[in-house]
Amino acid sequence: MTDTPRVYPGEEGDPLTTEDRTRDSFADFVRAETAGLTRLAYLLTGDRHHAEDLVQVALARVAVRWERVADPHAYLRRVLCTQAASWWRWRRARPPERLDGVVPERPDPGDDAEVRLVLWTALARLTARQRAVLVLRYYEDRTETETAALLGCRVGTVKSQTRHALRRLRVLAPELAELVGRSPQEVTSR
């Protein structure tokens, strides 16, 4: 036996193959984008564990098509939105779970947890499409055109869904106006 040192891919003497470069570029993309995608998925689902599962499904889908996908960010966001809508449809068919027992104590008023809870409860009252439009427009700060492309609809649909969602939030969750320092009458008079 000879004691020749093993040469690993990418080291001198063994150039990276196309497959290695593809795998490395996808791995770099995953490391860079996972946190942001998980935040988006959480806003769409309201459940941390489901958000992580949703991101995994989306990344698995883009991994298969990595070399052919022109814009992986747009593709991933589209997969997240459609999979979240499918999950909400499935969840709507299940009877709601009820909590029994002692009501948990309220957090300190200075804590952002109350604001997050009120906001999430309000978003949960919207349809999946309205929630997706608001999250993409206001959380991700997307333009109407970008939102329409991600959701696979027309710009007019994004505008009308945004208008309907905001109107519905004003009616169903007037406490949101109080959280931003406005009276509910100011907000509903729009």
pLDDT tens readout for residues 141-156: 889 999 998 888 999 9
Hey, CA dihedral for 83, 159, 136, 181, is it positive or negative?
negative
Name the pTM for this structure. 0.47
Report d(CA 42, CA 52) in Å as an integer: 8
The DSSP annotation for 47-106 comes to -HHHHHHHHHHHHHHHHHTTTT-S-HHHHHHHHHHHHHHHHHHHHHHSPPP---SPPPPP
Report d(CA 184, CA 163) in Å as an integer: 17
Report d(CA 153, CA 138) in Å as an integer: 18
pLDDT tens readout for residues 70-109: 888 888 888 888 888 876 666 665 555 566 666 656 555 5
CA atoms within 13 A on the CB side of 161: 22
